[in-house]
Structure 1
Amino acid sequence: MMEITAASSPIGSEIFALISLLVISLGVLLLLRYYLPLRSTPAYLTVPIFFALGLPASIILLVPIDLASNARNQDAGSRGIWLPERLLLVSWRISYWLTFGLTWFILPILAEFSDSGYRDPKAKLIYSLRANAQYQAIVFAAAIATMIYIFVSYGVHTESFKATVMALAYCWCLVLAIYLMGHGLVMIPRSLFRNASISGRLRRIQVDAVKIHDKMEEAIQTLDDLEAQVAELAKRKTGSATQFRDWIEELADETHLPESRPRTLTRRMSVPEVNVPHVITERYLADLSRRLTRARHSRARYLDEWDHLLQEATNVQAILDSAASKRIEIGQASPNAPFMERVTLFTPYTRYLYRYWFLPYLRIFLGCFLSLASFCIVWSEVTKSINPLFSIIALTIVHHPTSERGQIGFAGQVIASCWILYMCAAALTSLTVVKVWRGRALVRRNTHGESAMWYAMQVAKLSVPLSFNFLTFLSQDIYINTVFYDFLGKLINLTDVGAWFDWLFPCFILVPVCAAIFNLYGKVANCTGFGGVIDDDEEENESGYGTGSWREGRDLIERELQGHSSLGRLDQSSTDRRLHVPNNPNNRPAPTLSVPPAQRASSPAQASRTRPSAEPQSQAPKEPEDENFFEAFGHRVKNTLDTMQTPKWLQNAGEGMKRPKWMGGSGDSEPSGSGGDFTKWFGGSSRDGRVRL
């Protein structure tokens, strides 16, 4: 009797779950340290972001434990890691409601609070509430409509109100999760297959170099213009500027000297026009502070991307050059380099074997494996509405089909965690390639607080619907006994509309999957005029300059590595650019890109003249990420109409026409241009302006 009690005790499982939570917390802290400057980031940002990342990770761990814990009266040996029902219910309540509050209220308000630009906390809070008012109004209106439907169908009680809140949040997040996951299931294996080709990888790096270089120039130009406004504003000693003297001096102290920043040839030869209003208000200063903060982070983002691109291009070119020598030399690391960069485990020959042969074939293997995993997920999404027995994922998880209650063991739990992790990774990876507003991006040690809050909100938003969607891959007699289904699933399936939506909508994953496979996004962009120009097979433009081609990117990278870039060199201590540039004794020398002379279409000087840098702007330009599809389309239509010339047949339409004598004409042929006054058609003269009847 004592042996049975000891065997069914959950102490071992509780210790394992506690250790797993500690490992997850440590991983979240390391992730925060990688992307955020923890010392300068306020606690009201780091604490919510920590919970917004840690709670979804715990849900990935909690779902497999819940699946194995539904066999409550059976021997624990066949259930793997399991927890008591009460503990599971408390865990689900804490994880779900904290995630719900972070997603819909806390993170949106704090994100706008940190991005407001005001100095007073009260003004920041008012701005944040005003910015979220429209978003919260739409959510509240949808909740009211859903609540009326549920109250009419199932009566007014507490469960109906809870079902309204939980079902509405689940359905909206499921729509976003299915679309992003479908796109990511295709993008992840495709990127592995593409990177398996070393030459193709270098070609794509060269194509991306043009785009990143242009965006970097625009970001630097935008920051220069904004800091010029601050410098002009600091010169004012009288008027309304005296009320905000401390604020203006604070903005001026945060600006950098022009000599410490790279300046292109165009920016060195031009002086931007500064437009500062005569009356300085708190709203103007807040808007200027907000744009300055965004411009600094945008500049840091593209500088980091440019450095990473240069380092990657150097490494890939070194791999290509090693085909003849069978050796890859990396030189001596810098004393200030991280520990992992100073440790070398390979010899030059083994490094060649690893990078030239092993990694490409490993990427092909992982691409095939993840392609099969993506197919299994899509297949299970489609077939679960037909017959759950066709689900491939269920076959990989349920290893004890003959057992009545203990169907899932420890191996099934590990596989289930891997499935959920891959589904979440596919959805979150799509966010990195989708162009979001305000240019949000994750930058190493320099991520904007508002961007970090936004990405954390997406992680918290997508974890719950993907986890419950994963449960529906299994047989109904398995997941219907879980605590997660009792807590969330019953409320989603409370109405027929919710049940049918949860059952049929995942089939629409075929839409983003097919769009990504057949490159529907690129075809639509090319049809509407927003697609990029690929001139690999274009014979008219052999050089490819001005079209964003790989040839131009190749020369940009080569000039930068050789120290002849128009951007110049940044001060390493002030900007923390971690590129190991060649000919630097403190860094590990990286091989330069070798371009055959026969393939060079033009010299670097010609390239710089052919493709000018960003033009100076009279006022603070609008960030390219802020321009949506309709604005861009309207600008293209307007530019087309402005540059359109009148056809010749329309220009000569009035020539050769004779005016009758009763209208005062002489009967001779007159060009229409000579009678520009409208009164001449009524016999009047343009000299006296009278009308003759």
Structure 2
Amino acid sequence: MPEIASAPAPVGSAIFSIVALLLVSLGVLLILRYYLPLRTTPAFYLVPIFFALWLPSVLVLLVPIDLASSAITDDVASRGIWLPQRVVLVLWRITYWLTFCLTWFLLPILAEYSDTGYREPWDKFMYSLRANAQFYAMVLGASVLGLVYIFASYEFSFTALKALIMALAYCWGLVLAIYLMGHGLVSIPRQLLRSGSISGKLRSLQIKAPRVYEKMEDSLTGVEEIEQQIAELSRRKTGSAAAFQDWIEELQEMASIPESQPRSTLLDPTINTQAVPHVITEKYLADLTRKYVRARHSRSRYVGEWNRLVQSAAKLQMILDSVASKKLDFGGASPHAGFWDRVKILTPYSRYVCYFYVFPYMRMAFGAVLAFASACIVWSEIVKYPFPKLSIIRVSVVHHWVGDKAQVGFAGQVISAFWICYMCIAALSSMTEVKVWRGRALVRRNTGHEAAFWYAMQVAKLSVPLSYNFLTFLSSEVYEKTIFYNFLGKYVDVTPLGQWFDNFFPIALVIPVFAALFGVYGRVKRIFTGVDIIDEEDDNPSGYGTGPWREGRDLIARELGGNSTPRRSGTAANGASGRAAPILSVPAIQDSVASPSRSPARSPVGNNHRAGQSTRPRFTDEPPEDDNIFSILGHRMKNTVDAFETPQWFQDIGQGIKKPKWMGGDDAQPAASGSSNNDNDNGSNIRNWFGGGGDSHIRL
């Protein structure tokens, strides 16, 4: 470890660091307020989640400060924010070991503690320990193997044990971080580039709508089935249920089932009510409580996602429709709208220019910049070990050279903070897209406690490996002098196996990058499931000729028209009464954009087409759906022929000719040869000769 300086920190750097920490703390509090109901969340839940998010945010500041403190510039004007190395070392110790304890011990136990359905704290704690026992057993087994390898290479000591713990934690976090970051480096720029097309973004929402709607209906059905069990359970007053009457009444209160009129008499009688066992046990009630809490959070998630999708689709359609008038007005803001949605500074014309031209091109330009940044990260990972001087990140951060001495100034600190932020955002954004996390999701103001603990744990787990992986992009003359390397890096490189893993495994970043870039996920899923999967992100971004696009368009149109069935009745009314019931706070659709209505019917296509009749023709900057030249030519020729009017001279032909009696006509009644509406009951139609009558077809 380099010599630790004892000089006091500059006043300006210390003030900047304190202000930056306060701003980071404020940002973390706003994130918690956005995703969690702060008033109903216990304090011993909020504090660990806060530190699990706050400590990784500190790393974005601590790594650049460490770089500038270790490779300080000789020029005072270009010198960045630096602190004494003793202070940096203390900050690294606090940040790393707190993050380690939160990630591997506290957060997993609290996550299972919050997810259990038991009522007593001791029962919850014991359930959490049992649930984490298998995980800890796997970690202990891997540690034993690593311990044998370490002790075979080096002598038995506390330093070797600490090196093993830090190296295993780093390797496991790096494996997950590389996969998630590779996916995010492609998905983030691609989404920004595709959002430049308003009609393409609307088409993407319409393709996504049937899948979101189906999940919402499944979540509503799941809640009703569990409420059916609770209603049936509340009818039992004797036997084994008598010992758990308080618990059953609490479940009944959570489900908002009145005691005088149980919901079992109101729901579908075909639902199997035999799911309630004859003998009620504590384990059954805990499982039922846990399933009901999860089901309510799932319902809140998909109902909110459906409302946001409909709201976004309606807003995009209004932007497209404003092309004719060159004016855009979204109307009054919803009570659930944000601050910027309520503030109206722009005029209707300037709002149209911004939303139709400025914002799409800005997103596309920002997407192009991030695409270039993604390419730089991938390239730097590939050439980091064989050709380190070709690393773009290395050149962009370390651009001060005094002879052979590399220095990092304030500009290098800002650039390094950008790289670290983008790498972390790319990895963390993938966690919300990859659907392998047991249905966990972040919901506005209603995220489940277990999901909040899990996401906070992943943020804390991925931040340290990504920060050190960024550090290895730089020149060895720079990062080997940092406190971070002497604190963590030398333990990772203590064995040849760890050194080779750190040098070559990040090259595996190209695998998730190519998988996300060429749509490998959808193709693999189609191969294994045998179902033709349509993915708006990979296989068919335009959505032409696809069923989900038409179905989604009809779903959104009916939702906006208010012609959907009252499926979600009581969803928003069921508050978070009771101990663990979630708060369902789903923002309503804006009045000017979409009329708030119930959830659409289960099978939307083919029934209740009144909304389709009242929908005006919409403007779109995409070509028509039937883009086949022969189909377009055939439709236009048919419309032209149908628009012809029959000449009067042609209609008068045959007016003076009378039908003979053997044809079933009357001599006094003229035959209108050009009309088919004079068919009567005496069989005057010529189709009657072949056995037809009325409106029937000709029979041969």
Please say if 1:497 is aligned against 2:497. Answer: yes
Query: CA 1:591/1:293 → structure 2, altered by over 3 Å: closer, same or farther?
Result: closer
Task: Say whether residues 1:464 and 2:473 are aligned partners.
Answer: no
1:323 Cα offset (Å):
1.7
- 2: CA distance, partners of 1:352 / 1:73: 49
Question: Does the 8 A contact of 2:563 with 2:608 survive in 1?
Answer: no
User: Which residue of the partner structure matches residue 605 of structure 1?
Assistant: 608
Where in structure 2 are the equivalents of 1:379-418 lying within 5 Å?
A: 379-402=379-402, 405=405, 407-418=407-418
Asked if the contact 1:8–1:75 (Cα under 8 Å) also holds between the matched residues in 2, the reply is: no
**Corresponding residue of 1:135:** 135
Query: Are residue 229 (structure 1) and residue 229 (structure 2) matched?
Result: yes
Residues 281-302 of structure 1, C-alpha deviations (whole Å, 9 max, x = no match): 0000000000000000000000
Match of 1:200 in 2: 200
Larger radius of gyration: 2
1:38 is aligned to 38
Q: Deviations over 1:374-393 (max 9, x none)?
A: 00000000001112111001
Structure 2 spans left out of the alignment, 5+ residues: 537-542, 575-583, 597-603, 612-700
> Which residue of the partner structure matches residue 254 of structure 2?
254
Percent of counterpart pairs with the same letter? 56
Contact 2:406 2:477 in 1 (8 A): no
The alignment status of 1:330 with 2:330, answered yes or no, reads: yes
* Aligned equivalent of 1:580: 589
SS at match of 2:195: helix
- Counterpart CA distance in 2 for 1:8 and 1:288 is 59
- RMSD of the TM alignment (CA)? 2.7
Q: Distance in 2 between matches of 1:336 and 1:376?
A: 40
Q: What is the deviation of 1:332? A: 2.7
- Is the alpha carbon distance of 1:548 and 1:448 closer, same or farther for their aligned partners in structure 2, counting shifts above 3 Å? farther
TM-score (norm 2): 0.78
**Who is 1:320 aligned against?**
320
Pick closer, same or farther for the CA change 1:73–1:568 going to 2, 3 Å.
closer
Mapped partners of 1:70, 1:203: distance in 2:
52
Name the structure 2 match of 1:308. Answer: 308
Separation of aligned partners in 2, 1:543 and 1:236: 55
Q: Secondary structure at the match of 1:363?
A: helix
**Cα displacement (A) at 1:121:** 0.7
8 A Cα contact 1:219 1:298, kept in partner: yes
Measure the CA separation in 1 of the matches of 2:456 and 2:8.
Answer: 38
Letter of the aligned partner of 2:413 in structure 1?
A: Q
Alpha carbons 1:71, 1:79 under 8 Å: kept: no
| Cα distance, 1:240–1:548 mapped onto 2, change above 3 Å | farther
How far apart are residue 605 of structure 1 and its match?
A: 3.0
Equivalent in the alignment of 2:156:
156
Instruction: Map 1:176-191 onto structure 2 (within 5 A).
Output: 176-191=176-191
Give the whole-Å Cα distance in 2 for the aligned partners of 1:589 and 1:516.
34
Alpha-carbon shift at residue 406 of structure 1 (Å):
6.0
* Displacement of 1:335: 6.4
- Distance across 2 between alignment mates of 1:215 and 1:607: 25
Partner of 1:663: none
Give the corresponding residue for 1:378: 378
CA offset at residue 71 of structure 1?
Answer: 3.9
User: Following superposition of structure 1 onto structure 2, how do residues 544-563 of structure 1 map, counting pairs within 5 Å?
Assistant: 549-563=548-562
- CA 1:269 to 1:145, structure 2 compared with 1: closer, same or farther past 3 Å? closer
* CA gap 1:602/1:175 in 2 versus in 1, 3 angstroms: closer
Matches of 1:270 and 1:559 in 2, distance apart?
29
- The one-character-per-residue Cα deviations of 1:531-552 (angstroms, maximum 9, x if unpaired) are 554499xxxxx998xx861100
State the match for 1:28 in structure 2.
Answer: 28
Matches of 1:38 and 1:458, distance apart in 2 = 21
Asked if structure 2 preserves the Cα contact closer than 8 Å seen for 1:65 and 1:83, the reply is yes
Q: Which position in structure 2 is the counterpart of 1:521?
A: 521
Q: How does 1:665-684 map to 2 (within 5 A)?
A: none
CA distance in 1, matches of 2:127, 2:535: 47
358-367 or 472-481: which moved more? Answer: 358-367
Q: Residue 271 of structure 2 corresponds to which residue in structure 1?
A: 272
Match of 2:19 in 1: 19
Q: Give deviations 1:327-372, integer Å, cap 9, x for gaps.
A: 1111233567554332111111111111111111112111111110
**Deviation readout 1:150-177 (Å, 9 max, x if unpaired):** 1110111121011000000001110110
Name the CA distance, whole Å, in 1 between partners of 2:530 and 2:43.
42
**Between Structure 1 and Structure 2, which shows a larger proportion of helix residues?**
1
- Does 2:490 correspond to 1:481? no
- Could you tell me which amino acid in structure 2 is paired with residue 10 of structure 1? P
In the alignment, the residues of structure 2 paired with residue 493 and residue 249 of structure 1 have an alpha-carbon distance, to the nearest angstrom, of: 59
Alpha carbons 2:307, 2:589 under 8 Å: kept: no
Ranges in structure 1 where 5+ consecutive residues have no aligned partner: 537-541, 582-586, 593-600, 609-693
* Residue type of the alignment partner of 1:190: R
- Secondary structure (helix, strand or coil) at the match of 1:401 reads strand
Paired letter, 1:454: W
Q: Do the aligned partners of 1:74 and 1:406 also contact (CA within 8 Å) in 2?
A: no
Partner of 1:651 in structure 2?
A: none
Q: Deviations over 1:554-595 (max 9, x none)?
A: 1111111111112456566665432335xxxxx445599xxx
SS at match of 1:40: coil
The letter for the 2-side match of 1:370 is L
Q: 1:420-466, CA deviations, whole angstroms, 9 ceiling, x for partnerless residues?
A: 00000000111011113431000000000000000000100100000
Rate the CA distance shift 1:160–1:77 in 2: closer, same or farther, 3 A.
Answer: farther
For 1:321 and 1:591, locate their aligned partners in 2 and report how far apart those are by CA, in whole Å: 18
2:430 is matched with which residue?
A: 430
Aligned to 1:243: 243
Structure-1 separation of matches of 2:586 and 2:116: 28
Query: What is the aligned partner in structure 2 of residue 566 from structure 1?
Result: 565
SS at 1:119 equivalent: coil
Distance across 1 between alignment mates of 2:607 and 2:185: 41
Structure 2 CA distance, aligned partners of 1:119 and 1:16?
A: 47
Match for residue 349 of structure 1? 349
Q: Secondary structure at the match of 1:438?
A: coil
Which whole-Å CA distance do the structure 1 matches of 2:269 and 2:320 have between them? 41
Indicate if the aligned counterparts of 1:398 and 1:412 stay in contact, CA closer than 8 A.
yes
Amino acid at match of 1:514: F
